Amino acid sequence: METTWNHATVLLNEAVDALFKDARAPYPDAADGTYVDATFGRGGHARLILSQLSPAGHLIAFDKDPQAVAESASIDDARFSIRHQGFANLGELAPASVAGLLMDLGVSSPQIDNPARGFSFRNEGPLDMRMDTTRGESVSQWLATAEINQITEVIREYGEERFAGPIAKAIVARRQERGPLTTTTELAQLVAEQVKTREPGKDPATRTFQAFRIFINAELEELQQALEASLGVLQPGGRLAVISFHSLEDRIVKQFIAKHSREEYDRRAPFAAPKVMQLVSLGRVKPSEAEIKGNPRSRSAIMRVAQRTAA
């Protein structure tokens, strides 16, 4: 019997409100627009967005995960379409065609809870961690050939792990002695042997697993590409909402919005007109205490919202 993996959508109402609330005042036809759910997941945000659209509206979803794309088949709505692509491909949409763009950067519960996906250190499964299981190499395949310095850099940069060096050395030593790591529990145990101290209640493998997942899926690079593309596809007055779950992602989003929310002067041409700002920051939103209590995985979420200017 096939297991059903449940998923609780984080900041569900808040995210959809961010795309639509107060948008109808200056833009009465907001419900007629084209919206983008850049990370469909299991469709929680998508379904609520569709409920806000008029018959003339349209929702385009993106997702790299073939299981998420398969889940989207349950939405029988002519206003909906999905692309089996990562959101780095947002730039393929028509310029200034999008009224609202949502990016939920979290790993979905079905991905974490299904041991076969290899995202979690809590259950034994293949050491995979690919969002798109149809292409690219798994974490296990990468670790089979990666050098100590490269492994160290990935763990330190993407996991902010101070024991990155010892962990990398142990991975390579294990590879040379007994062959490469192939399961999540093998990696988790090896990391636990190298991490001498950890915050109370936090598994020693948390940071390393995060680092490898981010690296193997090029998550931060894709986020940067998608944010830059958003400036081209959002129409004037269009909303951008991004939900992040760790400091590396949130820093990129925060800096992006800040950079494009001010006029920029070229120091090499002091008398030239400044580059006009392209976004207006509408602030940030965090989950309520009630949501965190009901879904502890939401506790680290931060949503930042911005609006495209007319420039």
Q: What is the pLDDT of residue 1?
A: 39
Q: What is the pLDDT of residue 275?
A: 63
Q: Mean pLDDT lowest for which of 9-18, 28-37, 44-53, 73-82?
A: 28-37
Give per-residue pLDDT as tens, 42-81: 899 999 999 999 999 999 999 999 999 999 999 999 999 9
Query: Does 3.50.50.60 match the CATH number of domain 133-216?
Result: no
- Give the model's confidence band at 262: pLDDT under 50 very low, under 70 low, under 90 confident, else very high: confident
Q: What is the pLDDT of residue 197?
A: 76
- Model confidence at 219: pLDDT above 70: yes
Of 29, 13, 4, 11, nearest in space to 238 by CA: 29
Q: What is the pLDDT of residue 28?
A: 57
- Give the model's confidence band at 39: pLDDT under 50 very low, under 70 low, under 90 confident, else very high: very high
Q: What is the mean pLDDT of residues 15-33?
A: 77
Handedness of CA 210, 61, 57, 93 (dihedral sign): positive
Q: What is the pLDDT of residue 271?
A: 57
Q: What is the mean pLDDT of residues 277-297?
A: 93
pLDDT > 70 in the chain, percent: 91
Helix (H, G, I), strand (E, B) or coil at 158: helix
Q: Which residue has the higher pLDDT, 196 or 274?
A: 196
- Model confidence at 22: pLDDT above 80: no
- Model confidence at 138: pLDDT above 90: yes
Domain ranges of the chain: 12-109+219-308, 133-216
- Model confidence at 26: pLDDT above 70: no
Q: What is the pLDDT of residue 155?
A: 98
- Model confidence at 148: pLDDT above 70: yes
Q: What is the mean pLDDT of residues 276-281?
A: 88
Q: What is the pLDDT of residue 50?
A: 97
Give per-residue pLDDT as tens, 168-210: 999 999 999 999 999 999 999 999 999 987 777 788 999 999 9
Average pLDDT across the chain, whole number: 90
pLDDT > 90 in the chain, percent: 77
Cβ burial of 189 (10 Å; 0-12, 13-18, 19+) is: middle
Q: What is the pLDDT of residue 2?
A: 44
- Give the model's confidence band at 4: pLDDT under 50 very low, under 70 low, under 90 confident, else very high: very low
Rank 3-12, 118-127, 286-295 by mean pLDDT and report only the highest.
Answer: 286-295
pTM of this prediction? 0.90
Sheet with 80-83, strands from edge to edge, namely 80-83, 58-62, 34-37, 98-104, 234-244, 302-308, 279-285
Q: What is the pLDDT of residue 35?
A: 97
CATH of domain 12-109+219-308: 3.40.50.150
Read off φ and ψ for residue 191, nearest 5 degrees: -65, -45
What letters, b where the CB count within 10 A reaches 16 and e where it falls short, cover 4-33? eeebebbbbebbbbbbbeebeeebeebbeb
